[in-house]
Amino acid sequence: MERIGGLLRALGNLARGVAIGVAEIIPGVSGGTVALIVGVYQSLIGAASHVVRSFTLALSAHGRRRMSSEIAHIRFVIVAPVLVGMVAGIFVGAALLEPVIVAHPVETRAVFAGLILASLWVPITMVGSGWNLRMMALAALGATASFLFTGLPVLAGASDSLWWVAPAAAIAVCALVLPGVSGSFLLVTLGMYEPTLAAVNDRDFGYLGVFVLGAIIGLSAFVGMLQWLLEHRRVLTLVVMTGLMAGSLRALWPWQGENRELLAMPEGGLVMWGWSVVAGLVVVVVIALERFLQARVNPQE
């Protein structure tokens, strides 16, 4: 029975990873948000922090003995299947989901708007009794910043140069680990989304190698600070994340112009919001089921 339970947990973490990977393909949807929803966010951030520290220690002769201690703190039983699932989700999402997004942008934005709106329940309940007027103001500030960011026009010409790949990846990976900020949306803004997606589908390992190098650099610079915030300013960090998630809904308003200007809802647009409601209900059911199951086994976070 114990082996069966372990196998089921591994499969569950694999599925969580697939969901996170697919989310990273969708502009406007944050992989960090999905990781927070499915309960593996802190495990992933902690693992990334330990990896960054181990590489830092590797550069010092006196620090090499401490590397094994850092690596030993990584919860591989959770992190390994999640990472495998993430890679699979990215390739599956790039191959299957991207054409749907291109062919039906209004419908997909409506669906994902419902997903993110319902998902706000997660960080709000994690803050719990920590909500007060000051925290609400801070969340509103985060929401405003996210709202303004998602209205930025797309940069022109950036995708023509390979020199943009590593810097774009370094910036986008920060969004990967920060709920409410979409890495794919950042790539769209930088003009790097389409060439990166093409590189994934075409298995352009030269491009992808440069991208991964940039992502490692960005992760090294950002994840340590985020880990510290989660350990020492947890409520404050979750409040800001809630605001960022709320503000990011601007990117998922179904009707938008070419320069991301928001358009009025057309006649009959209420039908479109029906998809949002259905998607939101699915999220609520999934979250409720997740919490019910966690109540019966050891929580993962």
Instruction: Please return the burial class of 198, using the count of CB atoms within 10 Å of its CB with bins 0-12, 13-18 and 19+.
Output: middle
Position 261 in a domain: yes
174 pLDDT more than 60: yes
Tell whether 31 is covered by a domain.
Answer: yes
Q: Report the candidate in 11, 21, 27 with the shortest Cα–Cα distance to residue 116.
A: 27
**Which is higher by pLDDT, 275 or 129?**
129
Provide mean pLDDT across the span 164-169: 82
- Taking the alpha carbons at both ends of the chain, their separation in whole angstroms is 23
Residue 228 lies in a domain: yes
pLDDT digits (tens, 9 = 90+) for 209-221: 888 888 888 877 7
Task: Please indicate, yes or no, if residue 117 is contained in any of the structural domains.
Answer: yes
Average of per-residue pLDDT values in the chain: 77
Residue 22 within a domain: yes
Contacts of 271 (CB under 8 A, 6+ apart): none
Q: What is the pLDDT of residues 257-300, one digit of tens each?
A: 777 788 888 877 777 788 788 877 877 776 676 666 555 554 44
- Is residue 253 classed exposed, middle or buried when 0-12, 13-18 and 19+ CB atoms within 10 A define those classes? middle
Structural domain containing residue 109: 2-294
3-class DSSP state for residue 126?
Answer: helix
Q: In this predicted model, which residue has the larger pLDDT, 71 or 86?
A: 86
Q: What is the pLDDT of residue 64?
A: 61
Domain count of the chain?
Answer: 1
Which pLDDT band holds residue 138 (cuts at 50, 70, 90)?
very high
Per-residue confidence at 159, pLDDT binned at 50, 70, 90?
low
pLDDT above 70: percentage of residues in the chain = 78
